[in-house]
């Protein structure tokens, strides 16, 4: 019987690896090449993208006064920020398959860094909406980070690796809620600048940060454990990108996972966009307090999404794919119920408490979903990751447009309706089935190696 892991004879890795040189252990406190250094580059680069994309919402109370934005225009800008990442995420998957995640993610960060700086030049509602649309493109680095982790870590820890890299990165959406109001205040107090100038100069910080992490990825990143993309995968170029894309798009599991992710990460993105303004308007807190409360939602990712990844791996080890799928359903359904409750409570501290609980469950659900993604298709992994990741931003766009852009519903009612959407859209997880590992209610057709989670899918 082949051991679960071994130290490669071809290369000397500081962590245990499998026959593909993928790490079978996860050491987040290490920066050893190539596995753990890649992990740290991936999460830090994606962290900067979340920081940049959501650096605008905490300053919206000031920006809307300066640019004379209406509620409809604010809603349109929020929708635009997600719409931009739909297309970029769809393209990022095949791009990773073609050129590798290092070049794909590093280049995207460098190309979009100047756009966040261009926020300071916005002078009309139209230009503000355009900037938000373009800034959203950088969130496609989420897909490259998940692709990268799946290329570096073996099946027994890939759920954990995917969960931690996404969870730590998503903390950027919370940190920026804290940092940007402080940066804005410092420009006013230290340099005696008017408000209209201070908020514009504040965007220098996220632009420099994102450009720095993108450069680090290109300089120190590595696509695969033993090489970069073009040296190891060149032999596979005979299989055209078109075939890889078609194979991925024809796999129904990718579409179901996209819907599930729309109702988990999509709702998280929507909350990142509206939560500071929600507490500012409904409970009358100041900008700094609203930003601090909103930061609690995003910063829960430091443990909640990795917790989902750990749960996925443990449920998978004990119950196989059935355990992973049941975990997705249970955690995401609880998240939906908490979201319904969040819109019903009417006191400040009760709302903060329910919001924090909701953040933990909805973020853990995202980790659980991406604990399934690596097992859907080896050959079209980038496409499946792109489909799933795009589902999250599509869910955010639809929710923003239907519930938070028209102004016909109060924000608290819209939040409760969003919770019902989560519960309903989680049900299709019951449709996912693998012939070799089963589904939620049915076992596998073939029991060969069903006890071990060693899925080598050929779809």
Instruction: Kindly report, residue by residue over 96-108, the tens digit of the pLDDT.
Output: 888 889 999 999 9
Instruction: Write out the two tokens for 351.
Output: 């709302």
User: For residues 117 and 249, which has the higher predicted lDDT (pLDDT)?
Assistant: 117
Q: Which residues contact 297 (CB under 8 A, 6 or more apart)?
A: 174, 271, 272, 275, 355, 356, 359
Instruction: Write out the two tokens for 159.
Output: 């759920």
Other C-beta atoms closer than 10 Å to the C-beta of 268 total 27
The CATH T-level fold of domain 247-442 is Growth Hormone; Chain: A; (1.20.1250)
As a whole number, mean pLDDT of residues 215-224 equals 94
As a whole number, mean pLDDT of residues 329-352 equals 95
Lowest-pLDDT range of 76-85, 139-148, 166-175: 76-85
For the chain, the average pLDDT equals: 86
- Is the pLDDT confidence value at 41 over 70? yes
As a whole number, mean pLDDT of residues 282-289 equals 85
As a whole number, mean pLDDT of residues 381-397 equals 86
Lowest-pLDDT range of 72-86, 109-123, 316-330: 72-86
pTM of the model: 0.78
In whole angstroms, what is the distance from residue 382 CA to residue 34 CA?
20
Could you report the per-residue pLDDT of 408-447, keeping only the tens digit for each?
A: 788 899 999 999 999 999 999 999 998 888 889 987 875 4
Q: Which residues contact 378 (CB under 8 A, 6 or more apart)?
A: 456, 457, 458
Range 32-225: architecture per CATH: Up-down Bundle (1.20)
Asked if domains 32-225 and 247-442 share a fold, the reply is yes
Cα 273 to its chain centre, rounded Å, is 14
At 449, is the pLDDT very low, low, confident or very high (cuts 50, 70, 90)?
very low
At 325, is the pLDDT very low, low, confident or very high (cuts 50, 70, 90)?
very high
In whole angstroms, what is the distance from residue 422 CA to residue 149 CA?
27
Instruction: Write out the two tokens for 213.
Output: 């992490």
At 232, is the pLDDT very low, low, confident or very high (cuts 50, 70, 90)?
very low
* pLDDT at residue number 234: 43
User: For residues 6 and 356, which has the higher predicted lDDT (pLDDT)?
Assistant: 356
At 457, is the pLDDT very low, low, confident or very high (cuts 50, 70, 90)?
very low
At 5, is the pLDDT very low, low, confident or very high (cuts 50, 70, 90)?
very low
* pLDDT at residue number 226: 82
Over pLDDT 70: what percentage of the chain? 91
In whole angstroms, what is the distance from residue 397 CA to residue 381 CA?
24
As a whole number, mean pLDDT of residues 2-23 equals 67
In whole angstroms, what is the distance from residue 225 CA to residue 62 CA?
47
The radius of gyration of the chain's CA atoms, rounded to the nearest angstrom, is 21
User: For residues 335 and 236, which has the higher predicted lDDT (pLDDT)?
Assistant: 335
Q: Where are the domains of the chain?
A: 32-225, 247-442
As a whole number, mean pLDDT of residues 59-81 equals 88
């Amino acid at each position: 019987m082949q051991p679960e892991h071994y130290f490669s004879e071809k290369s000397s890795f500081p962590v245990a690896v499998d026959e593909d040189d993928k790490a079978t252990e996860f050491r987040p406190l290490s920066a050893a090449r190539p596995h753990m250094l890649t992990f740290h580059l991936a999460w830090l680069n994606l962290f900067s993208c979340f920081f940049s994309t959501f650096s605008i919402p905490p300053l919206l109370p000031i920006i809307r006064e300066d640019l004379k934005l209406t509620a409809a225009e604010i809603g349109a800008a929020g929708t635009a920020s997600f719409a931009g990442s739909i297309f970029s995420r769809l393209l990022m998957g095949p791009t990773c398959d073609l050129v590798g995640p290092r070049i794909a993610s590093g280049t995207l960060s460098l190309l979009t860094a100047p756009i966040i700086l261009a926020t300071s030049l916005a002078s009309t509602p139209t230009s503000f909406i355009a900037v938000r649309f373009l800034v959203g493109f950088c969130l496609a680095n989420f897909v490259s980070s998940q692709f990268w982790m799946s290329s570096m870590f073996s099946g027994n820890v890939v759920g954990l690796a995917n969960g931690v890299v996404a969870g730590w990165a998503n903390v950027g959406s919370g940190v920026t809620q804290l940092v940007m109001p402080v940066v804005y205040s410092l420009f006013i107090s230290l340099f005696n600048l008017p408000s209209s100038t201070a908020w514009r100069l504040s965007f220098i910080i996220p632009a420099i940060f994102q450009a720095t992490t993108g450069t680090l990825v290109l300089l120190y990143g590595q696509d695969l454990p033993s090489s970069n993309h073009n040296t190891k995968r060149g032999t596979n170029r005979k299989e055209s990108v078109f075939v890889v894309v078609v194979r991925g798009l024809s796999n129904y599991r990718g579409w179901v996972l996209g819907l599930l992710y729309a109702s988990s990460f999509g709702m998280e993105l929507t909350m990142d966009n509206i939560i500071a303004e929600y507490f500012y308007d409904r409970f009358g807190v100041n900008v700094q307090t609203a930003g601090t409360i909103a930061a609690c939602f995003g910063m829960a990712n430091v443990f909640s999404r990795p917790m989902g990844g750990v749960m996925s791996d443990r449920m998978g080890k004990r119950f196989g794919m059935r355990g992973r799928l049941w975990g997705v359903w249970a955690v995401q359904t609880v998240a939906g119920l908490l979201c319904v409750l969040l819109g019903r409570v009417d006191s400040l501290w009760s709302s903060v408490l329910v919001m924090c609980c909701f953040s933990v469950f909805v973020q853990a659900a995202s980790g659980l979903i991406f604990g399934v993604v690596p097992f859907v298709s080896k050959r079209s992994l980038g496409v499946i990751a792109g489909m799933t990741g795009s589902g999250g931003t599509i869910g955010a766009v639809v929710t923003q447009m239907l519930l938070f852009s028209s102004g016909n519903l109060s924000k608290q009612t819209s939040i409760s309706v969003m919770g019902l959407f989560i519960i309903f859209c989680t049900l299709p997880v019951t449709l996912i089935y693998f012939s070799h590992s089963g589904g939620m209610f049915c076992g596998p057709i073939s029991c060969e190696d069903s006890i071990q989670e060693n899925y080598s899918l050929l779809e």
